[in-house]
Amino acid sequence: MKELKGVSWVNFILGLWLIISPFVLVFRGVTQALWDNVIVGIVIAILAIWRALAEESEGMTVISWVLALVGLWTLISPFVLGYSQTRNAMVDDVIVGIIVGILAIWRGSVTSASQPLHQR
């Protein structure tokens, strides 16, 4: 299960990236993208580090599924919040959202499948 901890660390780094990406990629005049990335990045980073450091349990599997939903939000937020025309922000959020979502689903699925039936 140690290799799965690495998945959470990748999501943690992606969360940090979302926090700083509006400043690195210069999301000029798109405050929705800036604030969405900062807030969602904080949420991803907190959930991912919690998942990486905590012992395996059913509750921790739920954290993976919450991370998957946050990844989905990151993927669709440029279209929902109306900044899909800002290429830097849209491409960044779509790519990060896909990666966070896939890694979280993988981590949640593998962890759920490895738990004995009496723990599910």
Q: pLDDT tens digits, residue range 18-69?
A: 999 999 999 888 899 999 999 999 999 999 999 999 887 777 889 999 999 9
- The verdict on residue 26 lying in a domain is yes
Q: Which amino acid, residue 83?
A: Y
- The verdict on residue 40 lying in a domain is yes
Mean local confidence (pLDDT), 70-99: 96
Number of helices (H), then strands (E), in the chain: 4, 0
Where is 26: in which H helix or E strand?
A: none
Going by the DSSP 8-state scheme, the letter that residue 65 receives in this structure is H
- The verdict on residue 97 lying in a domain is yes
- The verdict on residue 19 lying in a domain is yes
Q: Is the separation of the CB atoms in 49 and 12 below 8 Å?
A: yes
Mean local confidence (pLDDT), 73-100: 96
- The verdict on residue 120 lying in a domain is no
How many distinct structural domains can be found in the chain?
1
pLDDT (tens digit per residue) in 88-119? 999 999 999 999 999 999 988 886 556 554 44
Structural domain containing residue 59: 2-115
- The verdict on residue 52 lying in a domain is yes
Q: Is 114 left (phi over 0), alpha (psi -120 to 50) or beta?
A: alpha
CA 71, CA 84: separation in Å to the nearest integer? 16
